Structure 1
Amino acid sequence: MTDSPLPRIPLDPKEQPILDKLQSIRTELELLKRDRSTYVKSQDVLKLYDQVIEQVIILNEIRESKRLEQNKVDYMLDDCFQLISLAYLTVGKNYEPPAVYSYISTIKRLLDHLKEAMFYSQKDLEALAKNLADCRRYVERGREQYSPHLLTLLEARIDVCEEILADLQLNLSQLTPELTPKWEKLVSLLRSLAGCNARSKFPNDEVDEYNNELVQVQEELKEHGILAYEATGSTEEKLAEMVDKMQLIAANPEPAPAANTLIGTLLRRNLLWVTLIKSKQGRIAPAFQDTYDKLLAIRNKLEKLTLTQAWSLRETDLWDYQRQLDRVDEARVDGNFFDAVGRPAEIYEQRTLLYLLRKSYALIYQLILTSEPVSEALLPIYNQLTTLRKCLKEVKKLGGVSSPRELYPYSMKLNSIDNMRKDGKFMIGDEIPDGQGRVTQLLEECFDLAYELRSDAESDSSADATPQSETPNDTVAA
């Protein structure tokens, strides 16, 4: 996805053929992802990847003296890379450098939003840091196989993400081990409160419970000499001042803010937010209702996908959601949303819409991270084996079976899947899809579980069938 709004710089005539070719490639990629009559094939994705790299090489030669230029070509190039990246996930090539592009693009969005929102936990940063390190490792591992043009692009984007991450980490560096749990609690409460605005019915009782937890935290912080930062004006003005203050801290992380200042400001922001959302009761200003409904619908669809991912998700479908979110995100000015006549949103609408936007990107990131490194063509087999393994483990957990005959349904299914292999490979037509190792490992694990259950059942049956030996005292003389 793009990291900035669509550039308006005039297009160099020399770059027009590149733009036309990239547009043609993007159309092919979109047709590929929409065609549900067949699986996405590795060779089709690799062919289109090679075509994109050819255009990158030509573009770099044209821009040798103007490396920093950004125009419509870059926007189209980003579309192509994003679609190819998601297609790599679809065919099971999750750990290849092209697949890394979608990881990094989404991480960049999340980091920008964390910096803008100015409340996040240490766990958020640790998880993103680990995933960035994994991305760098995948890029390094593909150095011999993939174009240096792609690797340079990926490394540069990873560098940018790591710089933002370092600023965010520095911002929390003054939190002591004793105060860190208080900060984490306040972050969790503010996120939970923000989510209350996106319910079909405003949960007053739940908000009251969160408010009680806030009051408790407030009392605990007094022992550390931390009081809620005071502001003046109406509730909305006070909250806007809190947000501005925290964003100012984020923009100037050196030196890192004192823990008392950081926590006191976030505590006050929580208290003000409770007051504001209870007065609003989930009502969004009519001018921003359409944007709210659009973001809410996207979030709900993505949440549903997280529940049915293994059976219904084609990773390239995420591109449609990304693009819708990008258009909303990039339409903002200085971080705020504007209505049809150019009026900025009030703080309540602004933060509620931003919560839905961030939540949707986070769900996309979760779906990308949990994508199995198995080709779409093998997913039906993989999902069946995953279900079988879960059932067999549950049977074992409940004490096993009383007779080997009870395992017949599992054994028959496992044998039918095993018989699908040709020369030890699961074939789809003449193609050997990616993810063979993962599926084979899962199949062997299921066979091992079934064997253990059968052995235990046979041992129990043998023990029950063995008669007790007679003793001399039991013998009756004739």
Structure 2
Amino acid sequence: MPLRLETEDEMKLLSELRSGVLITEKTQLNRTDDVLDEVCQMLSPAVYSQVVAIKHCFDRLDEFGIYAEEFLEPYERKLKDIEQIITVDERNQAIPEAVMQILKYKFLQCKKIYNRLLNAIHEVSPELLPIRNRLLRIRRQLIIIACKSSFKAEDILPFQQEIREVDSQRVDGKFMAEDGSIPPGQAVLVGLLDQNYAFAHDLVIATQPDFSPALQTLRERLVEIKQQLERLELTHKWTLRQTDLFSYQHQLHDIVKMRHDDDIDADPNQRGKFVDEKGQTPEGQTVLNFLLHKCYRMVLILLIESVPVSEALTPIYNQLTSVRQCLMAVKDIGAPCSPEELYPYQMKLASIDQLRKDGKFYDDRGHIPEGQALCVSTLEECYHILDELREEEDSKSETEAKSEAAATNNTL
């Protein structure tokens, strides 16, 4: 039996052991789920990997709690793209049923977190937006500092001063509008203010000689991962495959698992924090959380820039994008095209279209690879542009014919 089918059978057995559902919000995740996650990434490298990366990013975003609208816009667009791909791949059975079940669960979790973050944005009154934006800018600057390979306490002090300046604007603990009223959104702003105080304090702790050796080891490891991802951005950005990022995702996941997020018996004060060899939670956790956030975001950006199409469909997708670029260039020039000039594009699209069976692209083994939605939509877009160019030529020919007829009548 092929390894892929054997793996799918094992996943079905696991699903039966779990009453037909592989994962729910109540599932207590264990080592089996970690292995299952790795298997799903190998069975669905194009789509599952992106959803996992988005989920990890959203988990980090959820920890920080509040963002500006424009920061969330790329995530919204990506969620819509992924939703379309999942719909098509599910219809075409391009992804094993068990993998699709986990994929849809993680995708819905992403949407829940996104909606929660969006609701937090809407809680803030327009009068308080300048203060919110200032606090968000301070947090961004703290993240930039935390992600450096080294920094000093002096780098943090100006931002601590700015945080105190924002705090001084409160009257009896409230941020006031110009007319003296108390606008809604106080809890969000106070939470963001307190968060910045804590973050800045934690970063100063990370600069001290007695900073926890356990946290420092993890920090150095995360800085190394970040630097490797930065090198990938510079050198392999355009040739990167989803599978190239697996090792980085696994390393980050292993670090996240060191926290007490999933330990039911842990002290609530330790939940979500790293502990040292004595079982204590040292100060300075923020620098690790910022680095995790940065690394996951870099992984996601690299995945977004790599197309969610399986390797089997990549040659077809590349051909389609080349045809689309050529057709767009012809359209932008604005010059009419004769049928003879459009013929090569029509023939190329027809040759690609003939590769489909029942509207689907298949690989050499007869499987339906991931990325059907993207390939089909690009093919349809090419046909649409081609039709527009034909219509422009027909319209021009019709106009010229009428002009010639009118000129002939005037002569007579």
Q: TM-score by structure 1 length?
A: 0.53
Residue 241 of structure 2 corresponds to: 313
Aligned with residue 450 of structure 1, among 386, 392, 404: 386
Query: Cα 1:215–1:448, aligned 2, differ >3 Å: closer, same or farther?
Result: farther
CA distance in 1, matches of 2:166, 2:210: 29
- Aligned residue for 2:363, secondary structure, equals coil
Deviation, 1:320, is: 2.5
The CA deviation string for residues 401-434 of structure 1, in whole angstroms up to 9 with x for no partner, is: 6777766775565455446557876443351524
For the pair 1:48 / 2:7, whether they are aligned, the reply is yes
Residue 328 of structure 1 corresponds to: 255
Write the letter of the residue equivalent to 1:82. Answer: D
Query: Cα 1:418–1:278, aligned 2, differ >3 Å: closer, same or farther?
Result: same
Residue 179 of structure 1 corresponds to: 128
Aligned with residue 392 of structure 1, among 312, 316, 327: 327
The CA deviation string for residues 17-45 of structure 1, in whole angstroms up to 9 with x for no partner, is: xxxxxxxxxxx9xxxxxxxxxxxxxx854
Residue 357 of structure 1 corresponds to: 292
Indicate conservation of the 8 Å contact 1:401/1:457, yes or no.
Answer: yes
Deviation, 1:190, is: 1.1
- Aligned residue for 1:312, secondary structure, equals coil
Identity %: 29
Residue 14 of structure 1 corresponds to: none
The CA deviation string for residues 317-353 of structure 1, in whole angstroms up to 9 with x for no partner, is: 5443232112212324634446789886553xx3232
Indicate conservation of the 8 Å contact 1:325/1:357, yes or no.
Answer: yes
Deviation, 1:381, is: 1.0
Deviation, 1:261, is: 5.2
Indicate conservation of the 8 Å contact 1:121/1:184, yes or no.
Answer: yes
Query: Cα 1:148–1:280, aligned 2, differ >3 Å: closer, same or farther?
Result: closer
Deviation, 1:48, is: 1.1
Question: Any stretches of 5+ residues in structure 1 without a counterpart?
Answer: 1-27, 29-42, 62-67, 228-257
1:61-76 matches, cutoff 5 A: 75-76=30-31
Q: TM-score by structure 2 length?
A: 0.60
Deviation, 1:121, is: 5.2
For the pair 1:198 / 2:147, whether they are aligned, the reply is yes
Indicate conservation of the 8 Å contact 1:403/1:461, yes or no.
Answer: no
Indicate conservation of the 8 Å contact 2:259/2:274, yes or no.
Answer: yes
Number of equivalenced pairs: 374
Query: Cα 1:182–1:385, aligned 2, differ >3 Å: closer, same or farther?
Result: farther
Q: CA RMSD in A?
A: 6.2
1:321-470 matches, cutoff 5 A: 321-332=248-259, 334=270, 335-337=272-274, 346-347=283-284, 350-364=285-299, 374-400=309-335, 410=345, 413-414=348-349, 417-418=352-353, 420=355, 426-434=361-369, 435-436=371-372, 438-453=374-389, 456=392, 469=407
Indicate conservation of the 8 Å contact 1:403/1:458, yes or no.
Answer: no
Deviation, 1:379, is: 2.0
Q: Which has the higher contact order (CA 8 A, sep 6+)?
A: 2
Residue 260 of structure 1 corresponds to: 186
Indicate conservation of the 8 Å contact 1:89/1:371, yes or no.
Answer: no
Indicate conservation of the 8 Å contact 2:205/2:283, yes or no.
Answer: no
1:89-100 matches, cutoff 5 A: 89-90=44-45
Residue 226 of structure 1 corresponds to: 175
Query: Cα 1:332–1:380, aligned 2, differ >3 Å: closer, same or farther?
Result: same
Question: Any stretches of 5+ residues in structure 2 without a counterpart?
Answer: 21-25, 177-183, 261-269
Write the letter of the residue equivalent to 1:313. Answer: R
| Higher deviation after alignment, 172-181 or 185-194 | 172-181
CA distance in 1, matches of 2:97, 2:367: 24
The CA deviation string for residues 31-68 of structure 1, in whole angstroms up to 9 with x for no partner, is: xxxxxxxxxxxx8545412212214535779xxxxxx9
Deviation, 1:87, is: 3.7
Residue 291 of structure 1 corresponds to: 218
CA distance in 1, matches of 2:357, 2:393: 32
CA distance in 2, matches of 1:284, 1:400: 71
